[in-house]
Amino acid sequence: MRKSLSIIVIILFGIFLSLIAIDLTFGVPDNTGMDDYFIQNGQEQIATNNIVTTVVFDYRGFDTLGESTVLFTAVIGVALMYRKLIKGDADENE
Amino acid sequence: MRMSKIVRFSADMLFGAILIFGFYIIMHGHLTPGGGFQGGAVVATGAALVIVAYSYEEVLGMIKKAGLMLQESAGLVMFAGVALIAIGLGTTFFFNFLANSGSLFGMSVPYGPNSGELNTAGVLPLMNIAVGIEVWGGLAIVILYMLSGISKAEEV
């Protein structure tokens, strides 16, 4: 009884999600102003064929700087943690 | 505990190819899919292969932790430094001062689909290289530290 009930709930939830997914329109956003600007002017302004790299490293370069800083901080954290774990290894990790 | 001779030989043969593939992804970041983060991860995969194939003590002789730490810091400093040079030239932070300038990485690109040229994109290749250096140093040193913890725990 309990099993059949859960199966029915799962099927209903699946139908619910499918109805949402059918209504979605992929690749057709409402506001395309920024995308059009990047595609139109990226090659002329930055002289790059890869528009994704243009956005990541030039138009949104500040975001990438934060990303690199997060990676740096994460590595420092891992190094500190293992330095505490391994007592005898401390001098070599200086 | 090192792996068998077959595994070590295969790792030796594959290591160079993986490094070259990673450097290719980093250098062509402004032309093909990929870039500094992805190429750096590929190079770190090569380091992981060597670390798995050989024992921890042997790897310490091949890959220096201090060198990896230096590469990681130097990559981040180079990335921020390239962005700061633009301020020194009288423009804004992260301004692409080399694009369309005709000097290093300064060739222009026509609008629309084209085959692409390596000598384009201004400071983007420099930033890709900086991020690549940082990512391979950071990921390799994380793998090294985790392996050092395992080997020490087994001895106890």
What is this model's ipTM? 0.78
Task: Note the pLDDT of residue A53.
Answer: 84
Cα B76 to Cα B133: distance, rounded to the nearest angstrom? 8
| A55 assigned to some structural domain | yes
List the domain range (segments joined by +) for residue A30.
2-85
How many C-beta neighbours within 10 Å does residue B43 have?
A: 24
**Closest residue, chain B, to A59 (C-alpha):** B94
Contact A45 B99 (CB under 8 A): yes
| A27 assigned to some structural domain | yes
Furthest CA-CA distance within chain B: 64
Residue B118 — very low, low, confident or very high, per pLDDT cuts 50/70/90?
A: confident
Given a contact cutoff of 8 angstroms between Cβ atoms, the answer to whether B132 and B26 are in contact is: yes
| A61 assigned to some structural domain | yes
| Cβ contacts of B135 on chain A, cutoff 8 Å | 71
- pTM for this entry: 0.76
Q: In this model, does residue B1 exceed pLDDT 70?
A: no
DSSP structure string for B77-108: HHHHHHHHHHHHTTS-TT--TTTTSSSTT-B-
The per-residue pLDDT for range A11-65, each reduced to its tens digit, is 999 999 999 888 887 777 778 888 888 888 878 788 888 888 888 888 888 888 8
Q: Which of B80, B124, B139 sits opposite A65 (nearest CB)?
A: B80
Contact B141 A75 (CB under 8 A): yes
List all residues 6 or more positions away from A12 whose beta carbon is below 8 Å from its beta carbon.
none
Given a contact cutoff of 8 angstroms between Cβ atoms, the answer to whether B132 and B44 are in contact is: no
Task: Note the pLDDT of residue B20.
Answer: 92
Q: In this model, does residue B140 exceed pLDDT 80?
A: yes
Residue A94 — very low, low, confident or very high, per pLDDT cuts 50/70/90?
A: very low
| A69 assigned to some structural domain | yes
For B41-52, what is the mean pLDDT? Answer: 87
Q: In this model, does residue A8 exceed pLDDT 90?
A: yes
| Cβ contacts of A82 on chain B, cutoff 8 Å | 145-146, 148-149
The per-residue pLDDT for range B69-96, each reduced to its tens digit, is 888 889 889 888 888 888 888 788 888 8
Task: Note the pLDDT of residue B18.
Answer: 92
Task: Note the pLDDT of residue B17.
Answer: 92
| Locus of tokens 């921890």 | B56
Task: Note the pLDDT of residue B150.
Answer: 59
Which two structure tokens, joined as six digits, stand for B8? Answer: 């070590």
Task: Note the pLDDT of residue A89.
Answer: 52
List all residues 6 or more positions away from B39 whose beta carbon is below 8 Å from its beta carbon.
B22, B23, B24, B25, B26, B27, B29, B128, B132, B135
Residue B99 — very low, low, confident or very high, per pLDDT cuts 50/70/90?
A: confident
Total number of domains constituting chain A = 1
| A94 assigned to some structural domain | no
For B54-81, what is the mean pLDDT? Answer: 83
Q: What 3-state class would DSSP assign to A39?
A: helix
Residue B100 — very low, low, confident or very high, per pLDDT cuts 50/70/90?
A: confident
| A29 assigned to some structural domain | yes
Q: Residue A59 to residues A25, A44, B11, B104: CA-CA distances in angstroms? A: 27, 13, 40, 20
> Angle formed by the axes of helices B36-53 and B124-155, to 10°?
30
Q: What 3-state class would DSSP assign to B33?
A: coil
DSSP structure string for A47-81: --S-HHHHIIIIITHHHHHHHHHHHHHHHHHHHHH
Q: Of B17, B15, B33, B13, which Cα lies nearest the Cα of B25?
A: B33
Contact A53 B121 (CB under 8 A): yes
Nearest-CA distance A84 → chain B (Å) = 10
Which positions 17-56 of A are in contact with B (Cβ < 8 Å)? 43-50, 52-54, 56
| A36 assigned to some structural domain | yes
| Cβ contacts of B111 on chain A, cutoff 8 Å | 43-44
Q: Of A70, A94, A80, which Cα lies nearest the Cα of B149?
A: A80
For B19-23, what is the mean pLDDT? Answer: 91
